[in-house]
């Protein structure tokens, strides 16, 4: 009788411990699933860092090559009279015509455009890469992105970033090509207003399709 009585609590304890251990086992996957779900998207801290890194990198790189960027545009739009015949001669001619400040004409607007552009590209690429990687894992893959998938993520990020800031790029081009002696636009807002009044709102997105086709680079 005593042995029978003593086995009761032992069985209860064993059943309780087994139930608690089984409860711990079932809760572990749910916690892992929750943490896995959290890693599918960027956190606000990661988004902020991506935007900041992309914006700073874009501003520094564009400022460093601003004179060459303006010279390229001037060489593209010049007519039969070749004023700019090369990099060195064109740079000297541009300096003589507009001075040192003129060599960076449009760079402020270019930075205003390129900072959000590069920030959006950088953040979008990180997000798309993360989504694609988790999609591969969910379908039995290892989550590693192939060059083709990286190209897809980069192209998508490029199209989104370019579309978001294309009007500023179009206005920047108009301001950049004007000479100091015959300036038509006084700044970003003035140029934007003139283009909308004279050519309509859709003119701000003129040339978007050819630019969109070149985003995979």
Higher-pLDDT residue of 94 and 178 is 94
- Span 112-135, mean pLDDT? 86
pLDDT at 197: 92
Query: Residue 49 and residue 58: Cα distance in Å, rounded?
Result: 14
Q: In the predicted model, is pLDDT for residue 24 greater than 80?
A: no
Q: Phi first, then psi: what are they for 83, rounded to 5°?
A: -85, -35
Q: pTM for the whole thing? A: 0.55
Instruction: Name the pLDDT band for 42 (thresholds 50, 70, 90).
Output: low
| 58 contacts 113 by C-beta, under 8 angstroms | no
Q: From 3.30.540.10, 1.20.1250.20, 1.50.40.10, 3.30.460.80, which CATH number describes the 43-213 domain? A: 1.50.40.10
Query: Residue 112 and residue 114: Cα distance in Å, rounded?
Result: 6
pLDDT at 47: 75
- Span 76-98, mean pLDDT? 84
Cβ contacts of 101 within 8 Å, gap of 6 or more:
none
Q: Domain extents for the chain?
A: 43-213
């Amino acid at each position: 009788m005593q042995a029978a009585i003593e086995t009761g609590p032992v069985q209860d304890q064993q059943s309780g411990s087994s139930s608690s251990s089984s409860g711990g086992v079932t809760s572990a996957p749910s916690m892992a699933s929750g943490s896995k779900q959290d890693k599918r998207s960027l956190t606000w801290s990661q988004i902020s860092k991506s935007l900041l890194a992309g914006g700073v990198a874009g501003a520094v790189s564009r400022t460093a090559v601003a004179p060459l960027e303006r010279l390229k545009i001037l060489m593209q739009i010049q007519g039969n009279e070749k004023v700019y015949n090369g990099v060195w001669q064109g740079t000297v001619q541009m300096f003589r015509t507009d001075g040192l400040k003129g060599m960076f004409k449009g760079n402020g607007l270019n930075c205003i455009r390129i900072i959000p552009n590069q920030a959006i590209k950088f953040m979008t690429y990180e997000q798309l890469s993360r989504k694609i990687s988790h999609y591969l894992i969910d379908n039995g893959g290892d989550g590693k992105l192939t060059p083709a998938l990286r190209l897809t993520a980069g192209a998508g990020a490029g199209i989104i970033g370019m579309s978001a800031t294309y009007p500023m790029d179009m206005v920047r081009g108009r301001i950049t090509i004007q000479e100091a002696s015959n300036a038509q636009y006084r700044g970003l807002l003035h140029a934007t207003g003139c283009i909308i009044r004279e050519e309509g709102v859709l003119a701000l997105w003129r040339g978007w399709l050819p630019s969109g086709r070149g985003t995979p680079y």
